[in-house]
Amino acid sequence: MHYLPLLCAAAVCANLAAPALAQSIGAPGKLLLTNGIGTIEGAAGGGLTPWAVIAGNATKDTIGAQASATVAELPAYDFMSFSGAIGAWDRIELSAARQVLDTNKVGGALGLGNDFKFDQNVFGAKLRLTGDVVYGPAWMPAIAVGVQHKRSLDPAVVGAVGAAHTNGTDYYASATKLLLAWSVLANVTVRATKANQNGLLGHGGGLNDRHRLQVESSFAVQPSRRLVIGAEYRTKPSNLGIAREDDWWDAFAAWGISRNVTATLAYTDLGSIATFEKQRGVLFQLQGSF
């Protein structure tokens, strides 16, 4: 991956800047890795789905933040996401992400030109309503609600592929719990959405133009203090008449390089994207958090 040197440089900078930022924002207090990683949409959680965790290392008395860069290499496409999020008092989260889908030679086959890129901005907010991911009764998870507004930067092309709207908003609720006795984390997210391919191809279409409920889940185990291994599954609507949209899943390993830097490697299967089948590949992310 030709983005790897840039991501590594960002991780080194995050590690060097961590002490000063921690002193000015608030000393970190969360257990290692319990703030999750940056999703491709910017919210804290897994790679594909948000969890009921708040971004950053800070606890209920302080403010934290995290930033991540994600790249995925697929047979027909390349995907990148650059995101940042601020977490306040372990209760409120604000996030933003820029997503880029490079069509490579597929763009030429679709009449868009080689290396045509779909771009969108995602702006999110999350509120933890009750519960705690780590502490409290084992049967009581942390519960959060969130919203993600997605704005395509390619409205003419998105409209041409059959999307009913170039911009749209997702609404979700997540329940997450880490069972310390077994070092197991479980998450369930329910999302109301009409996004096509996460919004990169707009929202709604000839087959459906209403928000539909989708279910997203994560399951992970922590064999050591610094390592988490798990899997995610995310159901998707299929709104466009020109192409079927499949559910997504991944299997991942996240390594806490330090309290402030996390590296994640995943095998991901995104199914069919714009008529090109079996889009399976490797996803890599580096994240800095404070």
Q: What percent of the chain has pLDDT over 70?
A: 90
User: 165 in helix, strand or coil?
Assistant: strand
State how far Cα 76 lies from the chain centre.
Answer: 21
In a domain, 154, yes or no: yes
Pairing of strands 248-256, 227-234: antiparallel
Give the pLDDT confidence of 26-63 residue by residue, as tens digits. 445 688 888 999 999 999 999 999 999 999 998 888 99
Angle, CA 143 vertex, CA 138 and CA 146 arms, to 5°: 160
In a domain, 156, yes or no: yes
The pLDDT value recorded for residue 174 is 98
Of 1 and 188, more confident = 188
Cβ 240 vs Cβ 201: under 8 Å: yes
In a domain, 88, yes or no: yes
Give the pLDDT confidence of 125-162 residue by residue, as tens digits. 999 999 999 998 888 999 999 999 999 999 999 998 89
Give the pLDDT confidence of 279-290 residue by residue, as tens digits. 999 999 999 999
Cβ 47 vs Cβ 39: under 8 Å: yes
Considering the chain, what is the average pLDDT of its residues? 89
User: 148 in helix, strand or coil?
Assistant: strand
- Residues 33, 124, 197, 206: is their CA dihedral positive or negative? positive
In a domain, 153, yes or no: yes
Of 24 and 157, more confident = 157
Residue 275, domain extent: 4-285
In a domain, 290, yes or no: no
- Name residue, tokens 């994640």: 264
Element (H, E) at 73: strand 63-73
pTM (2 d.p.): 0.87
The pLDDT value recorded for residue 220 is 97
Domain count, the chain: 1
| pLDDT bucket at 14, cuts 50 / 70 / 90 | very low
* Poorest-pLDDT segment among 76-80, 106-110, 253-257: 106-110
Q: What is the mean pLDDT of residues 165-187?
A: 96
| pLDDT bucket at 18, cuts 50 / 70 / 90 | very low
Cβ 170 vs Cβ 150: under 8 Å: yes
Give the pLDDT confidence of 190-214 residue by residue, as tens digits. 999 999 999 999 999 999 999 999 9
Distances (CA, A) of 179 to 136, 175, 187, 223, 264: 10, 13, 11, 13, 21
> What is the C-alpha separation between 206 and 165, in angstroms, rounded?
11
- CATH number for the domain spanning 242: value is 2.40.160.40
The pLDDT value recorded for residue 264 is 97
In a domain, 110, yes or no: yes
> What is the C-alpha separation between 177 and 238, in angstroms, rounded?
30
The pLDDT value recorded for residue 20 is 38
| pLDDT bucket at 68, cuts 50 / 70 / 90 | very high
